Amino acid sequence: MGEQVLHIDCPDEKGLVYKITEVLYQHGLNIVSNQEFVDATTDHFVMRTAFEGTESPNDVVADLEEALPPAANIRQAEIGNRSIVIMATREAHCLGDLLLRHSYGEIPARIDAVISNHDTLGSLTRAFDIPFHHLSHEGLERRAHEKQLQEVVDQYAPDYIVLAKYMRIFTSDFVDRYQDRILNIHHSFLPAFIGANPYRQAFERGVKIIGATAHFVTDDLDEGPIIAQDVLPVNHTHTAEQMANAGRDVEKTVLAKAVKLLLEERIFIHDNRTIVFE
């Protein structure tokens, strides 16, 4: 079995690390890495422990549930054994980058399928032998379109949905259905330039740096917990369109980074912020 990861979070109290590592020790497990953090503003404890695999992870979790306070959330996952569905619209750079990285083994997951509301990205996707679903939104009410999306997504039952420049907004129902499981790349350094056309806004404001933000999708547009951000310098020679072109590099890098953090189970969500153990 591969490397396994435990995610534990609960209100802080004395002895939590001791109680957790005692259980692992009793199971004869070897800790490969161990990261722990207590959020001082909310007194909340989070810990990620990677250990060399056991054949009975369920027993470990059961014993941890016994040893820890009832409020503790305990999650266990085997790295490399996850799956995603990617959604995109017409731009190729984020999707192409993910497909490419996946092709040489850098994305530790199965890519079950790509879904798009256009057919532009079909041949790119199929070149990497990944199923492509074209579900046009033309002539469909938002909910009707989402129903089609949902059917395709659920047929694959992926661990996560990755929006690689999917340019439509979801209803609350869709978001709630996949709570904490939809990852988006936003083409600005949030919270600057929320809303439409961030590069146009950035150009007009005359900023010297542009950025991109990977975040979980919540009901509040552009307000979900931030996972990763990065920036690059621009200057007066960049038009809004050239900023958008330059921005592609940082969008794809930030998205790939966030996807890997997610699939390696390095992210906790707490209080609309993320704790990321890099």
Identify the residue among 57, 96, 158, 247 touching a copy of itself (CB under 8 A). Answer: 96
d(CA 120, CA 73): 42
Contacts of 76 (CB under 8 A, 6+ apart): 4, 5, 6, 7, 57, 60, 61
Among 21, 81, 83, 150, the residue binding a copy of itself under the rule CB under 8 A is 21
Contact partners, residue 223, CB within 8 Å, separation at least 6: 272
For residue 92, what are its two tokens? 């190729």
**53 contacts a copy of itself (rule: CB under 8 A):** no
Q: How far is residue 121's CA from residue 93's CA, in Å, rounded to a whole number?
A: 10
Q: How far apart are CA 256 and CA 107, in angstroms?
A: 8
Query: Which of 1, 2, 11, 32: binder of a copy of itself (CB under 8 A)?
Result: 32
Closest C-alpha among 179, 22, 161, 13 to residue 85: 161
58 belongs to the binding site for a copy of itself (CB under 8 A): no
Instruction: Check residue 167 for interaction with a copy of itself (CB under 8 A).
Output: no
Of 187, 185, 215, nearest in space to 199 by CA? 187
The catalytic residue among 9, 59, 222, 230 is 222
Residue 142: CB minimum distance to a copy of itself, A = 28
Q: How far is the CB of 231 from a copy of itself (least distance, A)?
A: 6
Give CA separation, 157 vs 75, 110, 276, in Å.
18, 12, 25
Which one among 155, 171, 179, 272 touches a copy of itself, defined by CB under 8 A? 272
Q: Where are the alpha helices (DSSP H) in 3-108?
A: 16-26, 57-67, 93-103
Alpha carbons 79 and 73: distance in angstroms, whole number: 19
Clarify whether 222 is annotated catalytic: yes
Pick the binder of a copy of itself from 1, 62, 144, 209 (CB under 8 A): 209
CB of 221 to a copy of itself, least distance (A): 14
Q: How far is the CB of 226 from a copy of itself (least distance, A)?
A: 5
Shortest Å distance, C-beta 70 to a copy of itself: 20
Active site members: 222
Binding residues (CB under 8 A) for a copy of itself: these are 14-15, 17-18, 21-22, 24-25, 28-41, 91-93, 96-97, 100-101, 103-104, 106, 124, 127-128, 189-193, 205-209, 211, 225-231, 235-237, 239, 245, 248-249, 253, 272-276, 278
